[in-house]
Amino acid sequence: MWFVARRLLHAVPLLFCVVVLNFVLIAATPGDPVTILVGDFPAPPGYVEQVKREFGLDQPIYVQLFRYLGHVLTGDLGYSFANRQPVSTLILGRLAATLELTLTALLLASILGIILGMLAARWRGSWLDSGVQGVASAGYSIPDFWLGQILILIFSIWLGWLPSQGNMSVRGAPEGFAGFLDHLRYLLLPALALSFRYLALIARITRAAMLEVLSADFILAARSRGATEISIMVGHALRNAAAPVITVIGYNLGFILAGSALIETVFGWPGIGRLLFDSISRRDYPVMMAILLMVSVTVVLANLATDILHRMIDPRVGDR
Amino acid sequence: MSAPLLEVRNLSVEIVTGKEKLRVVEGASFSIARGECVGLVGESGSGKSMSAFAILNLFPSPQARIAGGDILLEGRSLRGLSPREWRQVRGAQIGMVFQDPSSYLDPLIPVGRQVAETLRAHGRNEGTEARVLELLDLMELPNAAEVARKYPHELSGGMRQRILIAAALALRPALLIADEPTTALDVTVQAGILNLLTRLRAELDLGILLITHDLGVVAETCQQVHVMYAGTIVEQNGVEPLFRRPRHPYTQGLLGSVLGPESRAGNLFSIPGSVPGARDMPHGCRFHPRCPAAKHGVCDTDEPPLVIRAEGGSDRCARAGEIANAWERAA
């Protein structure tokens, strides 16, 4: 428990830096949110000044920064210029949708990737191994938004099995468990498209880690005791190969969150990816910064979870 | 006379890499009786560990395999067993302990469960905990219950080796193969492990095949010795006659490199050169390029056969008689 508290404390200065850096970077980019707010019409100079004052944009940059930090600390993420509503209300529902999509994709990628990697390592050099390697290469080289479009083409347009846009039936969405199933039908294609790349990565890492462990001395010792191959694979090899695999899964959550922006656009998924895209094109700075902050927090939490898992699996970690 | 516990007949092991086949053990024969400790001695690369792995048909590298000969356990041939039958032999009828106890224990699993693995692998799921504690007591480990819960990195090298021995003997096999069990340990700890093996041999009527490069270890623990060189057994005898009157120059070289109480560090002997690889085996006697007594025209033409001597034991040296006499005169 001390370890968790210490790690959370470490995260505070990190998140602080993230917030400051985001703020400064955005302030340094060319373009002025006021022009977007006011619009293309030739506005009287007095009106522009008034809008600037209203949003505090007439203050020096460091004053703006300190005010922003103060607000973030109290949980106030600001006000969206473009949407004219508080950022927190705007983000919360969409963050949940994005996390649902990304975590599902990561779960799919982890389960399938680990199973494929294990099988490939166990039957190294067989057709199964070559197949897994082929899938892995494909996963690396196929862009996920293109894969998404192909999936839509096959499963929505040609076969008509699954819906292609949104996250639930707009009209007559059923209640209860049926509603959940309805929702899953919407989730499946975008999650698959998003997961493929990570499935490839996890399969590769699992295969390499398993191969290394399988040649370890203690595997030979377990065989000399008459242990079955299955108990060796699951009881010794997978456990010992878990550390690098968990690291890869945990540290890729940030990338998968970033990657979801494209997939959400392709599948019309109402997550923060689309919101980020929109807020960039509209120079909606508070929304941009809030999203970046949320992503940072998620990555920090994912890394923390990774470290905790490491400690649970390996008694030697942090034991000094 | 009943069949010995283990009889290895004319065993050959080869390593297959691509098109190449390398014989790393060539025609090795030896036997072990119940309650007897047999030493297999040689430098690294002499094929002693490969012979040991062959008895379990379990090699560290997938390229190695038994190429010929037979292995009989209580008269029953182990050649041609199915993978499943081999698994039933391993751990239940033959136990094995290894060189470096830290790398042969799974670092993520409490040691007690690794001892229990032998029991579970052979379908003994009841009373495993009690049996594990009993075994740890037998291994002279204090606070067995506490030790069983520890992870390998929390134990000393000697304790880890005792855990490996406990796992190997959990099902009371009649034969224990010990592959350099003391090499990775401190000298003081070595003595403890050797004493333990000697005690277990007597108490459990255990046959032990002890693989080592250290003749000092053999002198303390074994009754019979086989000296291996470049994949063949070059001399075999009881421990006492072998130390008194070694007949093969290689054995003499090994004995000369043991630091006894009377020898000075200054005249400690070492055999020049190193064991030839299976790829460039010399013609004639395999030892002749390194042999101080090699005779041109004799030792470099034909490989000497293993000759059983009337005085006991056997050896593979064309000049065994003179060489043994010279050793005795010098002693």
* Adjacent-strand bridge partners of B227: B41, B235
Reply yes or no on whether the pLDDT at A119 is more than 80: yes
Mark residue A78 as left, alpha or beta (left: phi above 0; alpha: psi -120 to 50; beta: remaining).
left
pLDDT band at A173; cut points 50, 70, 90: low
Does residue A221 sit at the B interface (CB-CB below 8 Å)? yes
Does residue B56 sit at the A interface (CB-CB below 8 Å)? yes
Does residue A239 sit at the B interface (CB-CB below 8 Å)? yes
pLDDT tens profile B53-64: 999 999 888 889
Which strand (E) or helix (H) includes residue B236? strand B232-238
Does residue B181 sit at the A interface (CB-CB below 8 Å)? no
Give the closest of B90, B103, B153 to A225, CB-based: B90
pLDDT recorded at residue B209: 96
pLDDT band at A40; cut points 50, 70, 90: low
CA distance B69 to chain A (A): 21
Whether residue B42 contacts residue B179, with contact meaning beta carbons closer than 8 Å, is answered with no
Instruction: Name the token pair of A164.
Output: 């292609």
Q: Does residue A296 or residue A208 have the better pLDDT?
A: A208
Mark residue B297 as left, alpha or beta (left: phi above 0; alpha: psi -120 to 50; beta: remaining).
left
Reported pTM: 0.81
CA distance A315 to chain B (A): 6
Q: Quick check: helix, strand or coil at residue B108?
A: coil
Closest C-alpha among B228, B213, B290, B210 to residue B24:
B228
Please report how many Cα atoms fall inside a 13 Å half-sphere around the Cα of residue B186, on the Cβ side.
7
Distance between CA atoms of residues A219 and B105, nearest Å: 8
- Main-chain phi, psi angles of A165, to 5 degrees: -130, 145
Does residue A231 sit at the B interface (CB-CB below 8 Å)? yes
* Adjacent-strand bridge partners of B228: B233
Kindly tell me the burial class for residue A74, based on how many C-beta atoms sit within 10 Å of its own C-beta (0-12, 13-18, 19 or more). Answer: exposed
CA distance A104 to chain B (A): 29
Give the closest of A235, A240, A315 to B151, CB-based: A315
Whether residues B107 and A239 touch (CB distance < 8 A) is answered with no
Tell me which chain A residue has its CA closest to the CA of residue B58: A224
Distance between CA atoms of residues B41 and B49, nearest Å: 10
List the B37-41 sheet strands across, edge first.
B94-97, B175-179, B207-212, B37-41, B224-229, B232-238, B314-315, B307-308
Say which residues have a Cβ less than 8 Å from residue B88's Cβ, sequence separation at least 6.
A226, B122
pLDDT tens profile B236-295: 999 999 999 999 999 988 887 665 555 545 556 677 788 888 888 888 899 988 888 888
Distance between CA atoms of residues B252 and B269, nearest Å: 10
**Residues of chain A contacting B57 with CB distance shorter than 8 Å:** none
CA distance B228 to chain A (A): 24
Give the closest of A222, A227, A240 to B108, CB-based: A240
**Residues of chain B contacting A218 with CB distance shorter than 8 Å:** 103-107
**Residues of chain A contacting B172 with CB distance shorter than 8 Å:** none
pLDDT recorded at residue A110: 93
Whether residues B98 and A216 touch (CB distance < 8 A) is answered with no
CA distance A197 to chain B (A): 30
Task: Quote ipTM for the complex.
Answer: 0.89
Whether residues A217 and B95 touch (CB distance < 8 A) is answered with no
Reply yes or no on whether the pLDDT at A14 is more than 60: yes
Distance between CA atoms of residues B7 and B74, nearest Å: 8
**Residues of chain A contacting B107 with CB distance shorter than 8 Å:** 218, 240, 314-316
pLDDT band at A155; cut points 50, 70, 90: confident
Mark residue B91 as left, alpha or beta (left: phi above 0; alpha: psi -120 to 50; beta: remaining).
left
Give the closest of B90, B100, B108 to A314, CB-based: B108
Q: Quick check: helix, strand or coil at residue B331?
A: coil
- SS3 string, B147-166, reads HHCCCHHHCCHHHHHHHHHH
Whether residue B73 contacts residue B93, with contact meaning beta carbons closer than 8 Å, is answered with yes
CA distance B307 to chain A (A): 34
CA distance B37 to chain A (A): 20
Tell me which chain B residue has its CA closest to the CA of residue A225: B91
Whether residues B121 and A225 touch (CB distance < 8 A) is answered with yes
pLDDT band at A320; cut points 50, 70, 90: very low
Give the closest of A217, A218, A226 to B88, CB-based: A226
Q: What average pLDDT does range A259-274 have in this prediction? A: 84
Reply yes or no on whether the pLDDT at A219 is more than 90: yes
pLDDT band at A185; cut points 50, 70, 90: confident
Q: What average pLDDT does range A312-319 have in this prediction? A: 77
Distance between CA atoms of residues B301 and B321, nearest Å: 19
Whether residues A224 and B58 touch (CB distance < 8 A) is answered with yes
Q: What average pLDDT does range A95-107 have in this prediction? A: 89
- Most confident region among A70-79, A126-135, A165-174 by mean pLDDT: A126-135
- Main-chain phi, psi angles of B79, to 5 degrees: -70, 140
Which residue's entry shows tokens 């042999």?
B291
Mutation target for B interface from A224, A311, A312, A320: give the one with most B CBs within 10 A.
Answer: A224
Whether residues A231 and B58 touch (CB distance < 8 A) is answered with no
Distance between CA atoms of residues B84 and A226, nearest Å: 9
Does residue A218 sit at the B interface (CB-CB below 8 Å)? yes
Tally C-beta pairs within 8 A across A and B: 81
Tell me which chain B residue has its CA closest to the CA of residue A231: B121
pLDDT by residue for chain B (331 residues), tens digit each?
567 899 999 999 999 988 888 899 998 999 999 999 999 998 888 889 999 999 999 988 888 999 989 999 998 999 989 999 999 999 999 999 998 888 999 999 999 999 999 999 998 888 899 999 999 999 999 999 999 999 999 999 999 999 999 999 999 999 999 999 988 888 888 999 999 999 999 999 999 999 998 888 999 899 999 999 999 999 999 999 999 999 999 998 888 766 555 554 555 667 778 888 888 888 889 998 888 888 888 888 888 888 888 888 899 988 888 888 888 887 7
Whether residue B136 contacts residue B148, with contact meaning beta carbons closer than 8 Å, is answered with yes
